[in-house]
Amino acid sequence: MAKRIDGKAIAAQIKEELKEQVQQLAKDNITVTLAVIQVGQDPASCVYVRNKQRTCEELGIHSLSYELEETTSEEKLLSLIQELNAREDVDGILVQLPLPGHINEKDVLNAIDPAKDVDGFHPYNVGALSCGEEGFVPGTPAGIIELLKRSDIRIDGKECVVIGRSNIVGKPIAQLLLAENGTVTIAHSHTVNLKEVTKRADILVVAIGKRQMIDAEYVKPGAAVIDVGIHRDEANHLCGDVDYESVFPVASAITPVPGGVGPMTIAMLMKNCIESRRRRL
């Protein structure tokens, strides 16, 4: 039987620690500020932005909210980013994705000052992660490492398999596991004999975006399984890329959906904002 890794509780614990850090900074009259830019009213983006603002409030982080029209030009968006880059009081700049089709996402992300890129998507920060230099790591992969560490799951020397090679999850989590001395394999849609590959894993990170695809047949007995996916099942309940019921009896530890990786993402974003202020002090 697996241990259920309670991401909600671990995220709550991290947020408590961060709240204390914000209070410490406040004693020296230092406020941490996150600027959130949303273009258009994509319903999922609205939910994510609201959650980020609510978490800022909870921790005492000041949030600046920019809700731009769907038709906003790329030029106008870039000029807002330049303005925020130059502002001494702004520690983090976050552009909620996806952006409307007429805006080039890459150009926008590249325009953010890497020192304020708390989402960790700027090529500078991607390179910093790869070289082991100081930078910002995206919230989801950083949260996964934190979940493993706080659940006493050893990474050093372990066989780690990541399914998925996206820039926001698969590649950065593979880099982080490598930095923790895991032996890392990245699988993707061209991987031959996926089950044979995943069955080698002591730690299996699943970020494929395919609802409940990974069942017990993909999992080595005793493995720790981290499910990054977010989907809705037929009954409209949230579920992941992993078939939880099937894998639970085989694994030694498993993250549920909801309440696993999800809550960690925002907590780690907040951590990056505080870190940004610290570095600039």
Binding positions for ligand NDP, rule: CB under 6 A: 140, 163-166, 168-170, 187-191, 194, 207-210, 228-230, 241, 261-262, 265
| Shortest distance (Å) from residue 33 CB to ligand NDP | 23
Q: Are strands 62-68 and 92-95 parallel, antiparallel or unpaired?
A: unpaired
Catalytic pick among 6, 15, 38, 52: 52
Q: At what angle do helices 123-131 and 170-179 cross, to 10 degrees?
A: 30
The verdict on whether 119 is a catalytic residue reads yes
Query: Is 166 marked as binding a ligand?
Result: yes
| Shortest distance (Å) from residue 253 CB to ligand NDP | 17
Catalytic pick among 91, 119, 202, 241: 119
Catalytic pick among 38, 96, 175, 212: 96
Query: Is 230 marked as binding a ligand?
Result: yes
**Burial degree of 93 (CB within 10 A; 0-12, 13-18, 19+):** buried
| Shortest distance (Å) from residue 220 CB to ligand NDP | 17
Specify the residue, 84 or 205, whose C-beta has the smaller distance to ligand NDP.
205
Query: Is 266 marked as binding a ligand?
Result: no
| Shortest distance (Å) from residue 262 CB to ligand NDP | 4
Query: Is 145 marked as binding a ligand?
Result: no
Specify the residue, 115 or 261, whose C-beta has the smaller distance to ligand NDP.
261
Active-site positions read 52, 96, 119
Binding site listing for NADP(+): 164-166, 230
Binding site listing: 164-166, 230
